[in-house]
Amino acid sequence: MAVCWASAERVMGQIDVVVAPPLPVGISGHHLAFPDSLTLLPSTFVNAVFETGHSFIYHGFKRLR
């Protein structure tokens, strides 16, 4: 999150920026040998990212990066 906030601060005043909360689970099957590791199927992760973006569009955002 620190990288996201630092990036947002660099462009504040030039463009409007929103920093969204991170997705708490990703594609990390290679970490499953470690206790408490979680992973998603690639298709599930892609759908989660897509649907999160769709929510922003629904609320009026025009540009996502």
Predicted confidence (pLDDT) per residue in 16-60, tens digit: 888 888 898 999 999 999 999 999 999 999 999 999 999 999 999
Looking at residue 1, its pLDDT comes to 83
C-alpha–C-alpha distance, residues 35 and 26, integer Å: 16
Domain assignment of residue 10, yes or no:
no
C-alpha–C-alpha distance, residues 50 and 18, integer Å: 17
Domain assignment of residue 1, yes or no:
no
As for how many domains the chain has, the answer is: 1
Range of the domain at 55: 25-65
Alpha helices in the chain (DSSP H): 2-11, 42-58
Domain assignment of residue 12, yes or no:
no
Q: Is the pLDDT of residue 65 over 80?
A: no
Domain assignment of residue 8, yes or no:
no
Residue of 29, 24, 53, 50 lying closest to 41 (CA atoms) = 29
Looking at residue 49, its pLDDT comes to 93
Domain assignment of residue 31, yes or no:
yes
Length of the chain in terms of residues written = 65
User: What are 6-23's pLDDT values in tens digits?
Assistant: 988 998 888 888 888 889
